[in-house]
Amino acid sequence: MTSLNTHSDPIILEMRSITKEFPGVKALSEVSLRVKAGEIHAICGENGAGKSTLMKVLSGVYPFGTYTGDIVYQSQVQEFKDIRASEAAGIVIIHQELALIPELSIMENIFLGNEPTKRGVINWAEARLRSTELLARVGLREDPDTPIKEIGVGKQQLVEIAKALNKSVKLLILDEPTAALNESDSQHLLDLMLGLKGRGITSIIISHKLNEIEQIADEITIIRDGKAIETLNVKADGVDEDRIIKGMVGRTLESRFPDHEPKIGDVLFEVKDWNVGHPQIQDRLVCKNSSFFVRRGEIVGFAGLMGAGRTELARSVFGRSYGRYLSGHVYKDGKELQLKSVRQAIDAGLGYVTEDRKSLGLNLLDDIKATTVSANLRKISKHYVVDADKEFSVAEEYRKSLRTKAPSVEEGVAKLSGGNQQKVVLAKWMFTDPDVLILDEPTRGIDVGAKYEIYGIIQKLANEGKAVIVISSELPELLGLSDRIYTIFEGAITGVLNKGEASQESLMKLMTSTRKTASPSGTIQELAELPGNKD
């Protein structure tokens, strides 16, 4: 390593003219970045701009020799051959997909691959003591022996940070750390980052939540189409969300939502008295006497805090793909449906875009064309044989109409950015030509430009007379997109508001309601006492 005397400023990191190419794609082109010690530095850009690629170069995921340019860290030119080498230097990356093993305990995950030993044997007493101290530093009150699968995503993020602190982190990289978190968990994580800053730890954060960036970042580097466009000082440059957006998309967005005049018809889809038990916990209800309806051409939102039961309701209705069905009815065009499997739900004209696109929405081993047709193979098959030409033309048509950024439809979906993966999932369900489309967190981890495009797609589907259900943790998104909004609290629907009367305050009041006017509050025993369930 060569020692370099860079600048008089306390610069901890400088990336100089970083260029990274994949077959047929230049992901990064001459990107330069300077990060001051002890600051929170944000990186913003549209999906596919190259943000995560740049951080993978820095952390050794893409090792020295696979890119051109220099990484200067703590005044030394670095040639990281792998992620262990960068961690040894004090650089730790927390990816959007958390690298935790669900079956292992919090303690075991914190020390995985880095266990304290005594005479060649793991010293679990020391590990327990140190993990308790680390959990206290990140504000997580959990028994170190608790399995990871028993804690929520917000707490898992804190475990990842505790794991980083155990590695004596000096530069912490967080890729979309709050994408899957509710508002309170997000704020706790942001406060923790500010606390780490107070202890001299430098952070780089990638996020599409511009309000959070504005709240905690000292400087912001904007990347567009693989190039560094500018670096802004948040306070000195008077940075706000509109200024960040202009840098990201190259223009000012006049509105976050496309103009839309709804054309609402008769009730197309209705669920009545829907009750579902938890898949493992015998006496717990995840859906409690829920009833709702959606009309043709209508976009209906579902609001609720994380764990309120929005996804459980959607998945249980979609072919009983979650939980234990107990009672309730589903109607389409006034006729009752028996949807006992996902296949039956699809055949009945339902589509469901899952909130977890990588685990439940995509097969990451497939390419774009195979994914696009996967939910409706019958449409392009003859005598159970897929017509390869039809498969290609269908996928190409959706790639163009949805403006999916990919060199061809034969590109693997694993190589796409989050926003483009989401477009492929949308294409898959649009190809089934559903009458009712359920969209669960359709813009999670997606930049403002791609969000605008997806909002337009949702509105277009509604204009075609489809019934559209949107589940979102972002209240401004629901308010800007929905014609009506239902609220859910602890598995029960607590209210519904029309577009004109809904606000963040009114929704939050209903989202935290414990009233029993809309549905019961508790267990299967209480359910037995409801009218219509005596038998």
User: Which residue in this structure is represented by tokens 């009730």?
Assistant: 267
SS (H, E, C) 466-506: CEEEEECCCHHHHHHHCCEEEEEECCEEEEEEEHHHCCHHH
User: Which residue in this structure is represented by tokens 């950015």?
Assistant: 417
Kind and range of the H or E element at 230? strand 227-233
Chain length of the chain:
535
CB 127 within 8 A of CB 107: yes
In angstroms, rounded to a whole number, what is the distance separating the alpha carbons of residues 317 and 261?
29
Q: What angle do CA 190, 38, 72 make, to 5 degrees?
A: 120
In angstroms, rounded to a whole number, what is the distance separating the alpha carbons of residues 142 and 155?
9
Query: Which conformational region is residue 328 in: left (phi greater than 0), alpha (psi within -120 to 50 degrees), or beta?
Result: left
Q: Which amino acid is at 187?
A: Q
**Can you name the residues that pair with 173 across neighbouring β-strands?**
93, 204
For domain 1-90+202-255, the CATH architecture is 3-Layer(aba) Sandwich (3.40)
**Can you name the residues that pair with 117 across neighbouring β-strands?**
122
In angstroms, rounded to a whole number, what is the distance separating the alpha carbons of residues 31 and 15?
7
In angstroms, rounded to a whole number, what is the distance separating the alpha carbons of residues 217 and 168?
22
**Can you name the residues that pair with 70 across neighbouring β-strands?**
16
In angstroms, rounded to a whole number, what is the distance separating the alpha carbons of residues 445 and 402?
18
Q: Pairing state of beta strands 350-353 and 436-440?
A: parallel
CB 286 within 8 A of CB 276: yes
Q: Which two tokens stand for residue 465?
A: 């007379």
Contacts with 162 (C-beta within 8 Å, 6 or more apart), sequence order: 110, 131, 134, 135, 137, 138, 140
Q: Which two tokens stand for residue 30?
A: 């001459």
Contacts with 294 (C-beta within 8 Å, 6 or more apart), sequence order: 267, 268, 269, 270, 300, 436, 467, 468, 469
Question: pTM of the full predicted structure?
Answer: 0.68
In angstroms, rounded to a whole number, what is the distance separating the alpha carbons of residues 482 and 439?
12
Say whether 263-349+434-448+461-535 and 1-90+202-255 share the same fold: yes
CB 55 within 8 A of CB 173: yes
SS3 helix, strand, coil % of the chain, rounded to 5?
35, 25, 40
Q: What angle do CA 118, 124, 127 make, to 5 degrees?
A: 95
Q: Which amino acid is at 258?
A: P
In angstroms, rounded to a whole number, what is the distance separating the alpha carbons of residues 345 and 269?
12
Q: Report which of 525, 491, 533 is spatially closest to residue 511, judged by C-alpha positions.
A: 491
Q: Does domain 263-349+434-448+461-535 fall into CATH 3.40.50.300? A: yes
Domain segments of the chain as ranges: 1-90+202-255, 263-349+434-448+461-535, 358-433
Q: Which two tokens stand for residue 528?
A: 């037995």
Q: Which two tokens stand for residue 140?
A: 């997580």
In angstroms, rounded to a whole number, what is the distance separating the alpha carbons of residues 334 and 124?
61
In angstroms, rounded to a whole number, what is the distance separating the alpha carbons of residues 176 and 196?
17
Would you give per-residue pLDDT tens digits along the chain (535 residues)? Answer: 444 444 445 999 999 999 999 877 788 999 999 999 999 999 998 777 889 899 999 999 999 999 999 999 999 999 999 999 999 999 999 887 778 999 999 999 999 888 888 888 889 999 999 999 999 988 888 999 999 988 887 788 889 899 888 888 999 999 888 877 777 788 888 999 999 999 999 999 998 888 889 899 999 999 988 999 999 999 888 888 888 888 887 766 667 888 889 999 999 999 999 999 988 888 889 999 999 999 999 999 999 877 788 999 999 999 999 999 999 999 999 999 999 999 999 999 999 998 877 777 788 889 999 999 998 888 899 888 989 999 999 999 988 888 888 888 999 998 887 778 888 998 998 899 999 999 998 887 777 777 888 899 899 999 999 999 999 988 889 999 999 999 998 899 999 999 989 998 899 889 886 554 333 333 444 444 433 333 3
Helix (H, G, I), strand (E, B) or coil at 437: strand
User: Which residue in this structure is represented by tokens 């020799």?
Assistant: 65
